[in-house]
């Protein structure tokens, strides 16, 4: 999806994945003092990640985890 200024993409390569993790590190670990062990809980490699980009800079992210009968949207920042 592309709006006038913000591009939303499903993470599809290592660079986008690293950008999504960096946004989370800045928001949750650095700004909110969440421990890295709690924030990066081992569920990221089995999740779908969404990345928001503004002027070629990553500005937001979210992960989506799938369960047998529901979907969980997490780590949104």
Strand intervals (E) in the chain:
6-10, 48-54, 57-66, 71-74
47-59 in b/e form (b: 16+ CB < 10 A) is bebbbbbeeeebe
Full-model pTM: 0.89
One pLDDT digit (tens) per residue for the chain, 77 residues: 555 789 999 999 999 999 999 999 999 999 999 999 999 999 999 999 999 999 999 999 999 999 999 999 999 99
- The pLDDT assigned to 51 comes to 98
């Amino acid at each position: 999806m592309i709006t006038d200024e913000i591009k939303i993409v499903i993470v599809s390569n290592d660079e986008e994945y690293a950008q999504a993790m960096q946004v989370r590190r800045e928001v949750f670990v650095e700004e909110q003092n969440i421990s890295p062990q709690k924030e990066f809980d081992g569920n990221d490699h089995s999740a779908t990640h969404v990345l928001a980009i503004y002027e070629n800079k990553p500005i937001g992210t979210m992960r989506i985890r799938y369960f047998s009968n529901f979907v969980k949207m997490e780590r949104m920042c």
